[in-house]
Amino acid sequence: MEKNGNETSENQLSLVDRILIAQKAVGVIKKDGQNSFQHYSFQSEGAIKDAVKPALIKAGLVIKFSYEIVNQYDRTTGKGGNNHFVDLMGTFTVTDGHDEMTFTIPGSGQDTGEKAMVKASTSAQKYFYKQMFNITDTEDSDPDANDSSASNGPITKTKQYIRPSAILDHATVKEVKTLIMQQFNKMPDVNKNGEPKPKTVTELAEIWVGLANAKFGSKATSVETLTPNAAAGIKSLLEKEVKKLAGVANENQRQA
């Protein structure tokens, strides 16, 4: 049986081409959720999944998930209740049935009941979707996208999609995230300057990405999108920080 031109063309698409098709199909997702306690809006898990599912079908992609718990603990609330915390590492494999790409994303969740694990996996999955498919909540999320020019009027930049081929290799990403996880596990609840520990591993990772952007000229939105130079820089800083925290812990044990 002869294949028509459309079938042949579709079969010649690379995995990167298919991911780009999915990125474009997902498009803009408006913030439909509201956190009434901290007063901010967000893109809900449901809205993101509703946009991603048809995009994956259109592009001929499947995503396989697996999660590994790296830390879990309990803390007593101010009212005497119990909060259960779970930190995990999510592994996400994107495949078209022939080739595949694998990414790792940390996730954290807390709950007074039994849903901490579910919340942690949901946070990892949601963050993966947002980075993998370049999800924004506006037509142009770049704050410099609309530049008012006296001579030519408004200049609008077109939205650019991140090519997965520019993402760091899996081994480097895993090394950096493992160091961030180690630092988080060794950090005291409050440091010597009175500053509280980040609430989640994801929050700590975002702090390091921000540092990489400021210190090494990167423009990353996640560990995966760091430049090799920035990744090497924060990896070195993380190693020193983890070593220092380990030394403090050993000293405290000796004094005890």
Is-above-0.85 flag for pTM?
Answer: no
Is 245 among the domain residues? yes
Identity at 90, one-letter amino acid code? G
What is the distance between the alpha carbons of residues 113 and 115, in angstroms, rounded to a whole number? 6
- pLDDT in the model for residue 39: 67
- pLDDT in the model for residue 226: 82
Is 212 among the domain residues? yes
Provide block-wise average pLDDT over 10 residues at a time, the chain (256 residues).
Answer: 51 85 88 72 84 94 92 79 86 92 86 85 88 72 39 39 50 88 88 79 86 77 81 90 81 64
Is 45 among the domain residues? no
Is 127 among the domain residues? no
Is 143 among the domain residues? no
What is the distance between the alpha carbons of residues 85 and 51, in angstroms, rounded to a whole number? 29
- pLDDT in the model for residue 4: 55
Is 253 among the domain residues? yes
| Helical segments of the chain, H only | 5-11, 15-26, 45-59, 116-132, 170-186, 201-216, 228-255
In the block, which residue shows the tokens 């579709």?
Answer: 10
Identity at 12, one-letter amino acid code? Q
Is 236 among the domain residues? yes
User: How many CA within 13 A on the CB side of residue 162?
Assistant: 20
- pLDDT in the model for residue 141: 41
Domain with 235 in it:
167-256
Total domain count for the chain?
1
Is 203 among the domain residues? yes
- pLDDT in the model for residue 151: 37
In the block, which residue shows the tokens 């909060």?
Answer: 83
**Burial readout 211-224 (b: 16 or more C-beta within 10 A, e: otherwise):** ebbeebebebbbbb
In the block, which residue shows the tokens 């946070």?
Answer: 123
